[in-house]
Amino acid sequence: MQAFVSHVTAALSGGSQRSGYPWGYFRIMTTTTRSLVVLGAGTAGTMVVNKLRHRLPTTEWRITVVDRDDAHDYQPGYLFLPFGLIEPDQVRRSRHALITEGVELVLGDVDRVDPTAREVSLLDGRTLRYDELVIATGTTPRPDQTPGMLGPEWHRSVGEFYTYEGALALRESLAAFSGGRLVVHVTEMPIKCPVAPLEFTFLADDFLGRRGLRDRTEIVFVTPLDGAFTKPVASRELGHLLADKRITVETDFLVEHVDQERRVLVSYDEREVPYDQLVTVPLNMGADFVARSGLGDELNYVPVDKHTSQSTEHPSIFVLGDASNIPTSKAGSVAHFSVEVFAENFVEHARGQAMTHSFDGHANCFVESGGGKAMLLDFNYDTEPLTGTFPLPRLGPMTLLKESRANHLGKLAFRHLYWNLLLPGRPLGLPAQMSMAGKVPAAVSA
């Protein structure tokens, strides 16, 4: 390619071969490079730039990715930090090191996007022009949105594990915990990785058992949903597991405020749940610049076509990962499968062709259930998580929605796949489209 370009450049500068080329040919080759700007260098954004850099010629596309800092966290690791099952340095790496050559990483906070001018302004005054924009700024826990959640006891008796700092603070709190009421609480759906609060509860049961504190601890799971989970088959299986582990479930509980002094959660319908240690999942919201730019819904998620991730309002904007409003889990596996579909589509889109690939909402995740076991969920927009088996390349079939040691080992192994295959954009051998092979349909699984 390089030789070809310099050949043409020589021709353009007036070389003797000039007359040998038709005019249209020159016009194409002198078109200025187009610009793809990606906001957010997390799971989705990193995969997008790494995949597309290999697919789009540098002579045609400049790729820039913006993030506020240089720390990329393996977020599934947050779940294990409070129990000392993983070390902090296994969770965090530099974003720079994860982004392929030929992509520029800009550190800065996004102020707003102007879709008409096709311009992103940063809070420090810099602006970035784009031809195509990808928003991949995810979703963030917002304790400031619930009265009383932030306060002197934040990251103490009011803990959380959805941030690096919070997970580390919770490790201290749990190490000092001597029994009482441990309340695991979800503020409002949707949340990032919606099974994580249940996993936390199962791991806490295990952790307290090993420390001889389980009989002195009442574990309560408080949810705004009407069951352990929304999808019926998974809710049933997970509900059994909670009952087996003597975990009480408080359903339909929508928190109005946290009273840190009395150590109670108070709901809108005036129910109270007392705690000694609270582990809450605050309201999750998309980035504030989405709201400032007039691009979001009431939780700052950008409405998109759920099959192409293209903004319903602005055809030059795509939204990947947790930042969009697609009706499925906010989870890394959704980001992974949807980015694979998007990369194929974007190559067509960049050529001015129609996009021919469609994302079906496919997601799968290992659900840690304590005692060195885990379950596996696999689902999409139309099919809920089912029981049965899942054909995993090389490792063989994994059991779906049933606890097994193999699933737990799969979950542990995933961290290596994440850093070494997933983020660099290498194939994992998992199809983006969901398959029914091995699954037991809901109608006959009861």
Partner 1 sequence: MPTTTIAGHAVEVNDEGFLTRPDQWSDELGSELARLIGIELTDDHWKLVHFLRDDFAEQGETATLRRVSTRTGTPVKSLFELFPGKPAKKMAYVAGLPKPKGCV
Choices 168-176, 185-193, 204-212, 335-343; region in contact with partner 1 by CB under 8 A: 185-193
CB of 148 to partner 1, least distance (A): 15
Site for partner 1 contains 329 (CB under 8 A): yes
Considering only residues 230 through 269, tell me which ones interact with partner 1, judged by CB under 8 A: 230-231, 234, 252, 254, 256, 268-269
CB of 234 to partner 1, least distance (A): 7
Exactly one of 108, 180, 190, 209 binds partner 1 (CB under 8 A); which one? Answer: 190
Considering only residues 40 through 99, tell me which ones interact with partner 1, judged by CB under 8 A: none
Size of the site for partner 1 (CB under 8 A): 27
Nearer to partner 1, 223 or 310 (CB): 223
Choices 46-54, 117-125, 225-233, 258-266; region in contact with partner 1 by CB under 8 A: 225-233
Site for partner 1 contains 324 (CB under 8 A): no
How far, in Å, CA of 60 to CA of 29, rounded? 9
Site for partner 1 contains 221 (CB under 8 A): no
Nearer to partner 1, 82 or 194 (CB): 194
Choices 17-25, 117-125, 237-245, 296-304; region in contact with partner 1 by CB under 8 A: 296-304
CB of 230 to partner 1, least distance (A): 4
CB of 189 to partner 1, least distance (A): 5
Site for partner 1 contains 197 (CB under 8 A): no
Nearer to partner 1, 38 or 238 (CB): 238
Exactly one of 78, 154, 346, 379 binds partner 1 (CB under 8 A); which one? Answer: 379
Task: Say if residues 290 and 323 touch (Cβ distance below 8 Å).
Answer: yes
Site for partner 1 contains 382 (CB under 8 A): no
